[in-house]
Amino acid sequence: MPVARRWTFELDAEFGHRNISAEVEALVKEAGIETGSVTVHLTGSTGAIMGTSISVPVIDGELQLGTWQEILLINLDNRERTREVVAVAVGE
């Protein structure tokens, strides 16, 4: 069964950022997914998760990220912003 979450993060202006990998990993663990994927989406047009969304495979219960790869939330606006991120984990 899919599990969804919504988070809000306060980010500084002009490239304020936050690593949200831990939150996404916790969602995968909570969902109990061994094989599947998680899609993470930023609501809004002046921010990025290297685009406005990313889908990451899950294999053996782990996000398939490279050794130094992170899921990074970035504020591209010229003022501080509260950013909303939604994610859905699916699989079995």
Report the pLDDT value the prediction gives residue 82, as an integer from 0 to 100. Answer: 96
Q: How many CB atoms lie within 10 A of CB 56?
A: 19
CA dist 73 and 90 (Å) reads 21
Report the pLDDT value the prediction gives residue 84, as an integer from 0 to 100. Answer: 98
Tens-place pLDDT, residues 12-54: 999 999 999 999 999 999 999 999 999 999 999 999 998 999 9
Its pTM stands at 0.94
Nearest to 75 by CA among 49, 40, 39, 41: 49
Tens-place pLDDT, residues 1-11: 899 999 999 99
Q: Nearest 5°: phi and psi at 25?
A: -60, -40
CA dist 74 and 2 (Å) reads 26
Report the pLDDT value the prediction gives residue 50, as an integer from 0 to 100. Answer: 86
